[in-house]
């Protein structure tokens, strides 16, 4: 179907007269496009030249690259990790996590509420209050269970086992050091108890930071981790062993000499380390099971 001629001309007699008076070229015939235009060809045609200009291509490339970069930034640094199950193996030994300590269970492990982006993302001054006000029920399934790397603290009584000497004191020291505070942890690996073994740092004097594991050894509230496998020290094993040696020489923490009351209660000078305690408990448990089978 061809376009009607009156659509192409669009001029009246009055317009023609005015045009002739104003323009010396009044004898020039009115513009009329080629008669090849049809409803189909003109309505459905696309002018692709608008999409191939340098300005359009540059804008598309910049927008796409920026979007992909923001997505990667969010997934790498700003996405919150609620539990250990969300930690990918690719993050081990490469990433550190910043978070708020919600509870301290034993003297060498605690629960961390991951706050990605730290204070720059508003944690601690815009959104931190909400974390501090959350109860145990609200925090369930939202924290990462952290085991401090490289150290072994005196054990508390669990599952019918007795509390090791200096266990409560070591627990109290750790609570005073990191409970309800923000810390940074470097993730090493996941252990058999669904925890992540991490090096832990806390802020000290605004600018400096303190290694929590090293401070525990220095104060005598832990020993160097002595398991046959699974030990993690990063590059600080020598530093950790030197700190334990100095604590023994100074007689601080669990290495202190028993006082008069302690000697009357039968406390020995030699300290049973957490590794020795665990070995003794395992032998007793194994012997108990063997005795039950013999009956």
Q: Which residues of 54-67 are buried (b: 16+ CB within 10 A; e: fewer)?
A: eeeeeeeeeeeeee
Other Cβ atoms closer than 10 A to 87: 18
Q: How far apart are CA 192 and CA 189, in angstroms?
A: 10
- Residue 136's CATH number: 2.40.50.90
Whether 15 is in a domain gets the answer: no
Q: How far apart are CA 148 and CA 187, in angstroms?
A: 10
Can 184 be counted among the known catalytic residues? no
- For the whole model, what pTM was predicted? 0.74
Residues 6 or more apart whose Cβ sits within 8 Å of residue 204: 210
Residue carrying the six token digits 């979007």:
67
Whether 62 is in a domain gets the answer: no
Q: What is the DSSP letter of 4?
A: P
**pLDDT, tens digit (0-9, with 9 covering 90-100), for 45-68:** 677 777 788 888 899 999 999 999
Q: Is 88 helix (H, G, I), strand (E, B) or coil?
A: coil
Q: How far apart are CA 172 and CA 106, in angstroms?
A: 9
Q: According to the model, what pLDDT value does residue 136 have?
A: 84
Q: According to the model, what pLDDT value does residue 294 have?
A: 52
Q: Which range among 160-164, 190-194, 210-214 has the greatest average pLDDT?
A: 210-214
User: What average pLDDT does range 10-23 have in this prediction?
Assistant: 51
Whether 68 is in a domain gets the answer: no
154 against 134, higher pLDDT: 154
Selecting among 195, 215, 232, 244, the annotated active-site residue is 195
Can 268 be counted among the known catalytic residues? no
Predicted confidence (pLDDT) at residue 218 exceeds the cutoff of 90: yes
Q: Which domain does 215 fall in, by range?
A: 84-286
Percentage of the chain lying above the pLDDT 90 cut: 45
Q: Count the domains in the chain.
A: 1
Q: According to the model, what pLDDT value does residue 144 have?
A: 96
Q: How far apart are CA 176 and CA 101, in angstroms?
A: 11
Predicted confidence (pLDDT) at residue 21 exceeds the cutoff of 60: no
Can 155 be counted among the known catalytic residues? yes
pLDDT class of 132 with cuts at 50, 70, 90: confident
Q: Give rounded-to-5 percent helix, strand, coil for the chain.
A: 45, 15, 40
Q: How far apart are CA 39 and CA 26, in angstroms?
A: 31
């Amino acid at each position: 179907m061809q376009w009607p001629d009156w659509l192409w001309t669009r001029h009246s007699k009055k317009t023609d007269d005015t045009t002739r008076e104003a323009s010396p070229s009044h004898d020039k015939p009115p513009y009329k496009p080629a008669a090849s235009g049809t409803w189909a060809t003109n309505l459905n045609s696309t002018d692709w030249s608008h999409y191939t200009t340098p300005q359009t291509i540059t804008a598309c490339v910049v927008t796409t690259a920026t979007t992909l970069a923001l997505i990667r930034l969010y997934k790498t640094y700003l996405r919150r990790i609620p539990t250990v199950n969300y930690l990918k193996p690719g993050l081990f030994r490469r990433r550190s996590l910043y978070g708020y300590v919600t509870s301290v269970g034993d003297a060498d492990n605690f629960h961390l509420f991951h706050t990605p982006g730290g204070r720059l993302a508003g944690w601690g001054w815009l959104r931190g209050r909400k974390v501090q006000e959350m109860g145990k029920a609200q925090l369930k399934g939202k924290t990462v269970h952290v085991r401090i790397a490289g150290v072994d603290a005196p054990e508390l009584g669990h599952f019918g086992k007795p509390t090791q000497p200096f266990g409560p004191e070591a627990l109290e020291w750790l609570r005073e050091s990191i409970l309800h505070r923000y810390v940074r942890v470097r993730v090493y690996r996941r252990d058999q108890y669904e925890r992540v073994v991490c090096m832990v740092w806390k802020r000290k004097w605004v600018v400096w930071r303190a290694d929590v594991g090293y401070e525990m050894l220095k104060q005598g509230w832990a020993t160097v981790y002595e398991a046959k496998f699974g030990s993690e020290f990063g590059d600080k094993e020598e530093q950790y062993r030197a700190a334990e040696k100095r604590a023994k020489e100074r007689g601080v923490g669990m290495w202190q000499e028993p006082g008069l009351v302690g000697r009357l209660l039968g406390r020995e000078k030699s300290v049973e380390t957490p590794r020795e305690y665990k070995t003794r408990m395992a032998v007793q448990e194994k012997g108990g099971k063997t005795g039950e089978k013999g009956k």
